[in-house]
Amino acid sequence: MPTLLEAKEVTKVYRKSGHPSLNKVSFRVAEGEFIGIMGASGSGKTTLLNVLSTIDTPTSGNIWINNVNLKSLNHTSAADFRRDNLGFIFQEYFLLDSLTIRENIAVPLTLQKLPPKKIENMVRSLAERFGIASQLNKYPGELSGGQRQRASAARAIVKKPSILFADEPTGALDSSSATELLNTLYEANKELQTTILMVTHDAYAASFTKRILIFKDGCIIKEIMNQGNNRRDFYESIAAEITKLDSAR
Amino acid sequence: MNTISMAFKNLRKNFSFYALYILSVSLVITVYFAFTSFSMNNVMLEKISGDGRVESMCKAISVFLIAFVIFYMSYSNRFFLRRRTKELGIYALLGYRKESILSLLISENIIIGIFALVMGLVSGAIMHKGIVFGTTVLLNLSIDNAKIPFFNFIAVADTIVFILGVLFVLALSNARFLFKTSLMDLVRFEKSAERSMKFRKISALLGFILIIVGYGLALDIFRGNASLWFSVGFYPTGLMTAMLIVAGTVLFIASFLPYAAQKSKRHKKTFYTETKIVTVPDFIYRIRSNAKTLIMLTLLSAATLTVSSVMALSLFYPIAAVARIAPSELEFRIEEEGQLSGAKLLVSQYAPDNSVTYIQTDIYKVTASAEKLPMEYSVGTSKGSADNENIFREAGFECISYSQYVSLLQAQRRNDIVGKLSVLQDDECILVKYQPNADGSNETGSIYSLNIHDGSIPLTVKATTLNNPISFANSIGTMIVSDNVYEQIKSGTVLENSIVSINGEGIEDNEKLFEDMSDLLDNSPYLQGHSHRVNEIMSASSSTFLLIGFLVVLFFIATGSILYFNNISAVSDSKADYEILSKMGYSNKKLKKILRKQILTFFSIPFLFGLIDCIFATIVYKTGLMQDLLGNTITLYFPTIIAVALTASIYFIYYFVTVHTCYKTVLNA
Ligand SMILES: Nc1ncnc2c1ncn2[C@@H]1O[C@H](COP(=O)(O)OP(=O)(O)O)[C@@H](O)[C@H]1O
Ligand SMILES: [Mg+2]
């Protein structure tokens, strides 16, 4: 598989004297991968997501997505880059409250100036896949947390981004809603070939991915591959790995 | 940390946020203090009000003013409290007792109050001086400025006591709010309005219909005597129209606008665009949750615009009409021998002879016959038909010659009119109208036969004019005939009157001269003076206008600031939304565009409604209540246009400031 994203010696220092939040991080993500980022709170996961997604700029190092060096982007071209290539899911659902679910999912498509007919069709078919077709005319306030998070996942995926960034998307969900969302992401990755980079500190959520990078103090300290096809086995090995790391503290 | 230093720290941290609050409160204090100083300024009041009229008006306005200050300060207090609630909730979570949070809030309010008071008192004193200066210049008053103190201490005390009183009441209401609201509600105090809503088609349509009917009723006044305004009566119809428009405006804003916006979503081509998909739902949401504020602002701005436009019109109209009522700087009728030379002698004491022109016009009155004679021919011949004179006048045309007409106009420096004249033939005349005919007809082309001793002279009306060269006090039914015809009339008719018109820069705006002239002529009612008339009107109405001006300024500050705070609060409440949009790939440019559109919509609703209401009200006022001396010239609407333009620019400044504050709020995130 060709490389979609490459980070090389990426460092981020917020305060000059302080410890770097990211310390010479290098890795690659291939097209179609579902990758998990794990680590304790404060280990630099959100910081990584922010610099990868052009929302923040690294202090040093280079990042390429689709062979574009993010350094070469200014404010406006970064916005266009996000519009054309990136999708986001956050821990809080971050839907626009005054828009219906349909309108919320449609926003990224209007930004790409697609014709209305096409927008409506894309929104409907994705909503069906995500199990929220009957909620399209409702407002976010009328939905459950799980439905809202699936709506925001739909909003992120609908424009077929090159890569989808998810920052603890299950963090605010109960376990069954979390499972539904993870299944949806898993299927989107499998069937639509959406590349996903998901931050989580939950071993269960991480077990839906194919590869896991474990962060500590701004560095990747471990990589775990999903060897087989059995999610349960992968879960066990992640859990074991985390316990090992914890006891090493 | 004690609360005072915590309050100071808070103020420093959120400087721009509080600067605004201080500025807006001090603005209100400025107006209040300037007004209080003015109403306690006896030096001034003695000059502009002899009969206590201004004093009683001041009292009435001060009631308004007090109500306004209380309303405004509690509105902004609520606004700022709302913005602070979450933070206060977090203090509570951290274990601060509600008492200490309250004392933090009160300390903040006291610091803000003191800053605003100091600023307001200083700028209020400056504003008061400015008003005094403006009035003195405008009314030509002789006032010893040194006698008027910069700070009137009674006014200062009054203002301080009043403002502290308001702050105290606000502190009480904040305390009530704080103790009544649970901890959880404080932390979660965010936008809580219903997102999903019903759209009422019937009230939407009703709103639309009521407004159209209201405006239709206003336009009905153009039907003249047949209209409801005359058949039913001006005041009942006016009340009806106002009620229809107010009710219509309420429904239009509360129902029609959200309904129309909801319907506009159906037009997919325009709705599914990067801007509309955000702004239209946001508009629906905001107009639903802010309908009350918006309706109030709309009515307030309609009232402000209407009052200022009508005020400008009714001050400007009589002054513009002076050109007809007293066209010459000084004009009198020779009633006794020697008056002309006496007048010349008097004027020469004030101005060099070469700067003054004297024109004596001999008027000959002739009777005429025709199918239909104009109203001016017989005006004043029976009791009560003339406007304000009860002197009987004999019917007839009062003839002057064309060359006299031209030289009078030139002396009055109305050269633009002279330029448009062409020489009169011997069978032609120009008829001076008292006012345009109500039905819009015109005597041009009519033939009047003037009866002179040896027969009659038929004259065709070449044109009618509103540019009378001689005041109505001295001549009505003036007819301008060619020089030859004039000579013919003169040879066989008894002289009616000799009028002396005195003009020239040297004698302009000289009240002393006018007084002396009046003495010289034994207080003759036929003495008319242009500047004198203007000054009379100015001093009779200026105090009224000054005070209404106060109210208008107040209304402006109110509308502008409320719009400002409302927009800022809406935008900062949905700060997260803009963050999301930015992450999705909306560039700052696009976000700015969205912000501008959202804010513009909210500014334009009260402004446009106010403008339309003002236009209709001005039309009704002008058509129904004002004398029509000047005809329908565009110049008449100048003051209205200026009033509207001023309003527009004030709105624009507020809009501009609001947009920039919102940019800062959203894009610095
Ligand atoms: N805006 C910021 N300013 C200063 N320090 C920050 C900022 N954002 C994050 N940090 C620091 O960077 C480190 C990593 O934070 P973050 O990436 O949010 O961790 P995680 O998401 O893994 O919990 C933390 O020590 C945090 O204090
Ligand atoms: Mg994080």
Best residue among A47, A57, A167 to mutate for probing ligand 1, ranked by most atoms within 8 Å of CB: A47
Closest residue, chain A, to B197 (C-alpha): A139
Q: Looking at the structure, tell me whether residues B319 and B456 fall in a common domain.
A: no
Q: Exposed, middle or buried: residue B656 (CB in 10 Å: 0-12, 13-18, 19+)?
A: exposed
CB contact under 8 A, A108 and B580: no
Closest Cα to residue B38, out of B134, B103, B114?
Answer: B134
Q: Average pLDDT, stretch B574-601?
A: 90
Q: Average pLDDT, stretch B165-175?
A: 87
* Distance of CA A164 from the midpoint of ligand 2 (Å): 16
Q: Looking at the structure, tell me whether residues B539 and B610 fall in a common domain.
A: yes
Classify residue B582: in a domain, yes or no.
no
Query: Which pLDDT value is given to residue B655?
Result: 94
Q: Looking at the structure, tell me whether residues B11 and B160 fall in a common domain.
A: yes
Q: Average pLDDT, stretch B174-198?
A: 66
- Share in percent of chain B as helix, strand, coil (round to 5): 70, 10, 25
Q: How many distinct structural domains can be found in chain B?
A: 3
Which alpha helices (H) appear in B49-152, and where do they start and end? Answer: 53-93, 98-139
Candidates B267, B579, B587, partner chain A, best to mutate (most A CBs within 10 A)? B587
Cα gap B563→B571, rounded to integer Å: 12
Residue B194 contacts by C-beta under 8 Å, 6 or more apart in sequence? A141, B288
Contact A234, A71 (CB under 8 A): no
Classify residue A147: in a domain, yes or no.
no
Classify residue A230: in a domain, yes or no.
yes
Classify residue B420: in a domain, yes or no.
yes
Position B238, amino acid = G
Q: Exposed, middle or buried: residue B565 (CB in 10 Å: 0-12, 13-18, 19+)?
A: buried
Classify residue A77: in a domain, yes or no.
yes
- Name the band, by pLDDT with cuts 50, 70 and 90, for residue B507: confident
Query: Which pLDDT value is given to residue B183?
Result: 67
Closest Cα to residue B358, out of B487, B499, B486, B521?
Answer: B499
CB contact under 8 A, B581 and A88: no
Please work out whether the CB of residue A41 comes within 6 Å of at least one atom of ligand 1: yes
Classify residue B666: in a domain, yes or no.
no
Q: Looking at the structure, tell me whether residues B31 and B99 fall in a common domain.
A: yes
Q: Exposed, middle or buried: residue A61 (CB in 10 Å: 0-12, 13-18, 19+)?
A: middle
Classify residue B258: in a domain, yes or no.
yes
Cα gap A88→A136, rounded to integer Å: 20
Q: Does A169 touch chain B (CB under 8 A)?
A: no
Query: Which pLDDT value is given to residue B384?
Result: 45
Cα gap B36→B34, rounded to integer Å: 6
DSSP 3-state of A38: strand
Q: How many CB atoms lie within 10 A of CB A183?
A: 12
Classify residue A36: in a domain, yes or no.
yes
Query: Which pLDDT value is given to residue B385?
Result: 43
Q: How many CA atoms lie within 13 A of B380 on its CB side?
A: 20
Q: Looking at the structure, tell me whether residues B451 and B497 fall in a common domain.
A: yes
Q: Looking at the structure, tell me whether residues B17 and B162 fall in a common domain.
A: yes
Contact B357, B502 (CB under 8 A): yes
Contact B476, B398 (CB under 8 A): yes
Q: Average pLDDT, stretch B78-82?
A: 77
Segment among B191-205, B342-356, B514-528, B645-659 with least mean pLDDT: B191-205
Range of the domain at A59: 3-98+159-247
DSSP 3-state of B271: helix
DSSP 3-state of B332: strand
Query: Which pLDDT value is given to residue B38?
Result: 85
Please work out whether the CB of residue A43 comes within 6 Å of at least one atom of ligand 1: yes
Classify residue B577: in a domain, yes or no.
no
Q: Is the pLDDT of residue A94 over 50?
A: yes
Please work out whether the CB of residue A229 comes within 6 Å of at least one atom of ligand 1: no
Q: Looking at the structure, tell me whether residues B362 and B310 fall in a common domain.
A: no
Position B366, amino acid = V
Closest Cα to residue A53, out of B580, B104, B510?
Answer: B580
Cα gap B458→B456, rounded to integer Å: 6
How distant is the alpha carbon of residue B47 from its chain centre? 24
Q: Looking at the structure, tell me whether residues B172 and B32 fall in a common domain.
A: yes
**What percent of chain B lies above the pLDDT cut of 70?**
92
Q: Exposed, middle or buried: residue A146 (CB in 10 Å: 0-12, 13-18, 19+)?
A: buried
Is ipTM strictly over 0.90? no
Q: How many distinct structural domains can be found in chain A?
A: 1
Classify residue B256: in a domain, yes or no.
yes
Residue B153 contacts by C-beta under 8 Å, 6 or more apart in sequence? none
Classify residue B573: in a domain, yes or no.
no
Q: Does B668 touch chain A (CB under 8 A)?
A: no
How distant is the alpha carbon of residue B229 from its chain centre? 24
Convert the pLDDT of each residue in A169-222 to its tens digit. Answer: 888 888 888 998 899 899 889 888 889 999 998 889 999 999 999 998 888 988
Q: Looking at the structure, tell me whether residues B313 and B384 fall in a common domain.
A: no
- Name the band, by pLDDT with cuts 50, 70 and 90, for residue B212: very high
Q: Looking at the structure, tell me whether residues B262 and B392 fall in a common domain.
A: no
Classify residue B665: in a domain, yes or no.
no
For position A55, which CATH number holds?
3.40.50.300
Closest Cα to residue B555, out of B306, B307, B304, B312?
Answer: B304
Distance (Å) from the alpha carbon of A152 to chain B's nearest alpha carbon: 11
Q: Looking at the structure, tell me whether residues B212 and B315 fall in a common domain.
A: yes
Range of the domain at B146: 1-193
Classify residue A222: in a domain, yes or no.
yes
Q: Looking at the structure, tell me whether residues B406 and B417 fall in a common domain.
A: yes
Please work out whether the CB of residue A17 comes within 6 Å of at least one atom of ligand 1: no
